Structure 1
Amino acid sequence: MSSEKMIFIFMLLLSLISSGNCSDKKHYVLVHGAGHGAWSWYKVKPLLESAGHRVTAVDLAASGINMKKIEDVDTFSQYNKPLLQLLATIPSNKKVILVGHSLGGLNIAHAMEKFPLKVLVGVFLGAFVPDTQHRPSYVLEKYNERTPPAAWGDTVFDSTGNKTTMLFGPQILANKLYQLSPVEDLELAKALVRRSSLFVENLSKQKNFSKQRYGSVPRVYIVCAKDLAIPLEYQSWMIQNAGFNDVLKIKGADHMAMNSKPEEVFDSLHNISTKYA
């Protein structure tokens, strides 16, 4: 082979790597939990991008910098509209890795039901997980049954229209969600967390997610071992109840694993992308 051809091939390979067209580069879509926003992924997003992946962190309705007010969001579908709009723009020959944290597990499940052919794998990071045997509200109702009112601490609940809204107070943020996260992340949350809802009332009226759509997409659960908001035993129950292709575990991770253990979250997501390539 001539030196000119060798140089051309070398330059072509460099071009492919720099443009992110190699087969191991994936598109991650990161979905936050209740009260939070795309900002909660600020540590994990650049780690994935530095590995060459494309990353989109979504602000759901009335979350982050989304301009809607929770009072004007009546249904879970309206709350999830930004994620569904994003997936609608994904070409039919492309697939994304959906990552849902906390309540975001229900958001990605809803998206998997709507766009099963556009999702390579659904990743539930310390998240609520619906099954296909019960209404989408089932895991939230079971969670509420086992959680005494005192466990919500200084969370402020209110009735707005057809739903119950909630706003995490500084004490529950510090003691149940961010207890192992850097204090800077706790302060960020105190400044940015917004009033939200679990939309239990609306989800209780929706049809079950189907085996043919939501149930057909590979699912991976990442256990947060030191989570006090969704305790380990409840994460384990949901895993058994819903069934998963793989289960990973991050030791020492509180509920906000992307803050307390960002590199471990990155490693888990990067390994998932390799396995489900």
Structure 2
Amino acid sequence: MDAVTPQLKAQGYEVISVNLAGHGIDNTSFAAITFQTYVDQVITAIGTRTNVILVGHSFAGLVISQVAEAIPTQLKKLVFLAAALPHDGDSLLSLAKQDAGSHIGKSLTIDQEHGAAIIAKEAIADIFAADAPQQVQVYLAAHIKPEPLAPLATTVKLSDKNFGSVKKIYIHTVNDNTISYGAQQYMVKAGKIDKVYTLSSSHTPFISMPDKLAEIILLESK
């Protein structure tokens, strides 16, 4: 989100980016990472703040949903960016099984011994960033890490009273090979979404069209 964050800060907003355990530069052992680890990280980052707009991309759609269940009164709205949009009892794996349009399945390896989900490097660009500059695609393929497996199989526990009370925005990504546009549309139709935006991007509009993404987030921040 490095290309989006400065645009939000320039308009006077405080922006907190949460690097989930086991991702990026964080080397926490997968054995120590649970879905609740992610939820707790976000809740800790929010602290006592209120009127928070919480943006979740991809798998983080489940994370922000569980955060909303825990602290609904501190949140102004949830923004699902090309994200999993769950109901109570859903996990990322259960939602992914319903997505025939995703390119992940044919390039995914499950390493049960190490608790990791691994996507073949040669498929990274197509799955995540087909519209990114080539140098970015090469960088992603070289640096992407395996995903901790346990959180992907964990089901969310959501209620109408808490999660259901928080306003929700969805940003579609039409040319998405990770969570297909068809799957996104299905989840939105089945969920309670207050407003929908659409970007003609891959799964990573913060790379290919950060200005347009920032514009949407700013509109929803008013």
TM-score (norm 1): 0.73
* Number of the residue aligned with 1:250: 199
Residue 126 of structure 1 contacts residue 235 of structure 1 at CA under 8 Å; is this kept in 2?
yes
* Number of the residue aligned with 2:89: 135
Deviations along 1:49-78, whole A, 9 cap, x unmatched? 1222211110111112223122321x2102
Q: Which has the larger radius of gyration?
A: 1
Three-state SS of the structure 2 residue aligned to 1:111 is helix
Three-state SS of the structure 1 residue aligned to 2:176 is coil
Matches within 5 A, 1:44-193: 44-73=4-33, 75-87=34-46, 89-91=47-49, 94-131=50-87, 134-137=88-91, 140-147=93-100, 151-160=104-113, 164-193=115-144
Q: Offset at 1:201?
A: 3.3
Three-state SS of the structure 2 residue aligned to 1:141 is helix
Q: Offset at 1:148?
A: 8.7
Return the alpha-carbon distance in structure 2 between the equivalents of residues 254 and 119 of structure 1. 28
Q: Offset at 1:188?
A: 2.9
Residue 155 of structure 1 contacts residue 172 of structure 1 at CA under 8 Å; is this kept in 2?
no
Q: Offset at 1:145?
A: 4.1
**Share of identical aligned residues, percent?**
24
Residue 62 of structure 1 contacts residue 79 of structure 1 at CA under 8 Å; is this kept in 2?
no
Three-state SS of the structure 2 residue aligned to 1:56 is coil
Return the alpha-carbon distance in structure 2 between the equivalents of residues 90 and 149 of structure 1. 38
* Number of the residue aligned with 1:270: 218
Structure 1 residues 72 and 42: alpha-carbon distance in aligned structure 2, compared to 1, 3 A threshold: same
Unaligned 5+ segments in structure 2 are none
Structure 1 residues 148 and 128: alpha-carbon distance in aligned structure 2, compared to 1, 3 A threshold: closer
Q: Pick from 163, 179, 191 the counterpart of residue 214 of structure 1.
A: 163
Q: Which residue type is aligned with residue 78 of structure 1?
A: T
Q: Offset at 1:157?
A: 1.8
TM-score (norm 2): 0.90
Residue 116 of structure 1 contacts residue 216 of structure 1 at CA under 8 Å; is this kept in 2?
yes
Return the alpha-carbon distance in structure 1 between the equivalents of residues 152 and 25 of structure 2. 24
Return the alpha-carbon distance in structure 1 between the equivalents of residues 205 and 105 of structure 2. 20
Q: Which residue type is aligned with residue 42 of structure 1?
A: D
Q: Offset at 1:267?
A: 0.7
Residue 227 of structure 1 contacts residue 254 of structure 1 at CA under 8 Å; is this kept in 2?
yes
Q: Which residue type is aligned with residue 95 of structure 1?
A: N
Larger relative contact order (CA 8 Å, sep ≥ 6): 2
| Aligned-CA RMSD value | 2.1
Q: Offset at 1:151?
A: 4.5
Three-state SS of the structure 2 residue aligned to 1:184 is helix
Structure 1 residues 180 and 242: alpha-carbon distance in aligned structure 2, compared to 1, 3 A threshold: same
Q: Pick from 234, 239, 250 the counterpart of residue 183 of structure 2.
A: 234
Residue 60 of structure 1 contacts residue 81 of structure 1 at CA under 8 Å; is this kept in 2?
no
Residue 101 of structure 2 contacts residue 180 of structure 2 at CA under 8 Å; is this kept in 1?
no
Return the alpha-carbon distance in structure 1 between the equivalents of residues 37 and 188 of structure 2. 27
Return the alpha-carbon distance in structure 2 between the equivalents of residues 57 and 271 of structure 1. 19
Residue 176 of structure 1 contacts residue 229 of structure 1 at CA under 8 Å; is this kept in 2?
yes
Return the alpha-carbon distance in structure 2 between the equivalents of residues 175 and 115 of structure 1. 36
Deviations along 1:70-96, whole A, 9 cap, x unmatched? 2321x2102333112112x224xx221
Number of residue-to-residue matches in the alignment: 221
Residue 97 of structure 1 contacts residue 121 of structure 1 at CA under 8 Å; is this kept in 2?
yes
Q: Offset at 1:258?
A: 0.7
